[in-house]
Amino acid sequence: MLEDDSLLNLHRRTVAALVALVAQTLSIMKDYLSSIKHKKDSIVTLVTEFKALQFNHLSSLDAFLRSDAVRVHPLTFQRTSVLRSCTSACEDKLKSLCKKLQSVHSKLDKMGPIFRPQ
């Protein structure tokens, strides 16, 4: 009887520990999913800003630099020019952002479909 009680208590403690672990895991998952949901608007805004940068500003600048006016009167940009320093800084930041996004994407893929934003 004593052995049965001790085995029963062990099972109760194990089940209680599992219940607590499941509750903790659910809480973490809900927080994670909530944070993704709230960040979706920020991501949409960022994508919109990148599209505007691409289509409005960079396309116009690219067209200008390829224009006949620039071919007739070639422009040279010093290493210290604002255009060169800005494009260099943007390139560095964009490469860093791409690495971070690829890392997040890779981690989400490993975690399975439940963690991928819809």
How many structural domains does the chain have?
A: 1
Q: Is residue 86 part of a domain?
A: yes
Residue type at 88? S
Is the pLDDT reported for residue 103 higher than 60? Answer: yes
Q: Is residue 1 part of a domain?
A: no
Q: Burial letters for 73-90: b for 16+ Cβ neighbours within 10 Å, e otherwise?
A: eeeeeeeeeeeeeeeeee
Cα–Cα distance list, 45 to 38, 41, 88 (Å): 12, 6, 24
Predicted pLDDT at 1: 53
Predicted pLDDT at 21: 73
**92-110 average pLDDT score:** 80
Predicted pLDDT at 2: 53
Q: Is residue 30 part of a domain?
A: no
Least confident of 35-39, 48-52, 56-60, 94-98: 35-39
Q: Residue 113 sits in which domain range?
A: 78-118
Is the pLDDT reported for residue 15 higher than 80? Answer: no
Q: Is residue 8 part of a domain?
A: no
The DSSP string of 14-73 is: HHHHHHHHHHHHHHHHHHHHHHHHHHHHHHHHHHHHHHHIIIIIIHHHHHHHTSHHHHHS
Q: Is residue 56 part of a domain?
A: no
Give dist(CA 116, CA 109) in Å, integer: 7
Predicted pLDDT at 80: 81
| % of the chain surpassing 70 pLDDT | 84
Q: Which one, of 95, 71, 16, lies nearest residue 8 by Cα?
A: 16
Looking at per-residue pLDDT, the higher value among 51 and 42 belongs to: 51
Give dist(CA 118, CA 115) in Å, integer: 9
Predicted pLDDT at 3: 60
